[in-house]
Amino acid sequence: MFADFDKPPFRPLLFMAALLLAVVWAFPIYFMVTSAFKAEPEIMALPIHWWPQDFQWLGRFREAADFAPLWWYFFNSSLFAVTHVVITVFFGALAGFGFAKYDFPGRTLLFYFVICTLMIPFQILVVPLFIEIRLFGWENTYAGLVIPGLMHAFGVFMMRQYAADLPDELLEAGRIDGASEFYLFLRIVLPLLTPALTSLAIIIFIWSWGAFLWPLVVVQDRELNVLSVGLTNYSQPYQQVPMWGAAMAASTIATIPIACLFAFFQRYFIKGLTAAAIKG
């Protein structure tokens, strides 16, 4: 777009338009973060307090942690997300590799089988899955919470695309050297796929971190719940006025991991999001 790589031109009209949009769009996020550091009455004060007049460092955070098991929520969400990421990425890559580089009977059928699951909305799974895991005795347990969503078909799909692009010669070379197929996967395929794996990991992390419906249904103990569901304890407490300060503090904590991923892995982040989109 630029004729040369100097600084881009200063175009005030476009800048103003973009500035207006950016400010309006970013405002609620800004409001969330500043409210997390305000005293409770100041949060709803009008005219709006753009910056906390009475800056409270950890007051709201402590409140949030006292009212509900905030750190358990964080731990459970982390456990949930990390497990999902690791399993989906590893087995997705494995299956993607299998579908891409091997020609076994039933390959097409099984591939379409996996891809079809992409079209299944979660709402149609929630009731039968609930009954199913109750039969396993997993209801209200870590197993019941984590296991049902452990693998995402999207991982298989994406990894297959990338694995298909891997040069066969490399694999053959490995085989001639006496490597087993699994060894090939671990030592040659996985390293080569690292950028794609990173993008996939990020997108799976974001999906899992925000998971709401399943934890809502399967978990009943407070200490077992995840951050996304636990957050509603502050905004919709049982027979009590909402604790907005604590809610904003907990919301900020819930946003930080994703914000960090975005800050450090911006390229992979964007790539992962668009890859998720272009799955048709």
Partner 1 sequence: MTLRRLAFAFAVGVAVQVVVGLGGAAAQQVTLKVWMHEHPPRIPIDKAIVAEFEKANPNIKIQYDVLGVAEYSTKLLTAFASGSGPDIFNQTSALVAQYFTSRIMAPVDLAAMGHANEKVLQDLYGSGLDGIRFGGRLYGIPTEVSNYACYTNNTIWKEAGLDPMKDFPRTWEEFPAIAEKLTQRDANGVPRRRGFDFNWPSAGAFWNSFNALLQQRGGTLVDEATYKAALDTPTNHRTFQYLIDWAAKHRLGGPQYTDSRTDFLGGKLGTDCTFGIWGIPQMHDAKIDFTVRPAPRFADATSDNGMNAYAYYMMVNARSSTAVQKAAWAYVRYYSDQAERLFAGSGLFVPRPEVAARAIDANSRVFLDELKKAKFPPRVVGYSQVLDAVMRGRDRMIQGGEPAAKVLPELNKDIDVILQRERARAEALNR
Partner 2 sequence: MLKRTRLGRHWWGLVFVLPVVLFFAVFSVFPVLFGFAISLTDYNLLDEPFYVGFDNYRNLLDDRLFLTAFKNTLVFVFGATLPVWILSLAVAVLFDQAFRGREFLKTLFFLPVLPPVVVVAVIWRLLLHPNGVMTWFAGGHQGITEIPWLANTTLAPLAMIVVHDWAVIPFFMVIWLAGLAGVPRELREAARLDGASSWQMFWHIDLPQLRATAVLVAALSSINAFQTFTLQYAMAPDPGGPANSTLVLGLLVLKYGFQYFRMGDAAAVSVVMFAMILVVTAIQLGFNRRVR
Q: Which residues bind partner 1 (CB under 8 A)?
A: 134, 139, 220, 222, 238-241
**Binding at 15: pick from partner 1, partner 2, none (beta carbon under 5-8 Å per type):** partner 2
Residue number with CB closer to partner 2 (23 or 86): 23
* Rounded alpha-carbon distances, angstroms, from residue 167 to 103, 173, 192, 196: 16, 10, 10, 16
Q: Which two tokens stand for residue 127?
A: 């009731």
- Least Å from the CB of residue 215 to partner 1: 13
- Residue 238, binding choice from partner 2, partner 1, none, Cβ under 5 to 8 Å by partner class: partner 1
Q: Please identify, using beta-carbon distances, which residue of 198 and 255 lies nearer to partner 2.
A: 255
Shortest reach from residue 73's CB to partner 2, in Å: 11
The dihedral over CA atoms of 240, 246, 251, 257, expressed in degrees to the nearest 10, equals -140
Q: Tell me the torsion sign for CA atoms 86, 90, 96, 99.
A: negative
**Residue bearing tokens 């949009």:** 21
With 0-12 CB in 10 A as exposed, 13-18 as middle and 19+ as buried, what is 268?
buried
Nearer to partner 1, 187 or 222 (CB): 222
Q: How many other C-beta atoms lie within 10 A of the C-beta of residue 116?
A: 10
Nearer to partner 1, 46 or 119 (CB): 46
Shortest distance, CB of residue 156 to partner 1, whole angstroms?
33
C-beta of 157: minimal distance to partner 2 in Å? Answer: 11
Q: Which is nearer to partner 2, 25 or 51 (CB)?
A: 25
Q: Which of partner 2, partner 1, none does residue 244 bind to, with CB < 5 to 8 Å depending on kind?
A: partner 2
Minimum gap (Å) between residue 273 Cβ and partner 2: 6
Is the distance from CB of 154 to CB of 93 less than 8 angstroms?
no
Do the Cβ atoms of 226 and 73 come closer than 8 Å? Answer: yes
Instruction: Give start and end residues of each alpha helix (H) in 36-152.
Output: 40-43, 59-67, 70-101, 107-116, 122-136, 142-146
Cβ 125 to partner 1 shortest distance, Å = 18
For residue 184 the two structure tokens come to 């090939």
164 binds, among partner 1, partner 2, none (CB under 5 to 8 A by kind): none
CA–CA gap between residue 250 and residue 248 (Å, rounded): 5
Taking Cα atoms as reference points, which of 34, 67, 28 lies closest to residue 49? 34
Q: Which of partner 2, partner 1, none binds 58 (CB below 5-8 Å, type-dependent)? A: none
Please report how close the Cβ of residue 64 comes to partner 2 at its closest, in angstroms.
12
* CB 197 within 8 Å of CB 190: yes
Partner whose footprint covers residue 143, from partner 1, partner 2, none (CB < 5 to 8 Å by kind): none
Nearer to partner 2, 191 or 280 (CB): 280
Q: Which is nearer to partner 1, 131 or 170 (CB)?
A: 131
139 binds, among partner 1, partner 2, none (CB under 5 to 8 A by kind): partner 1
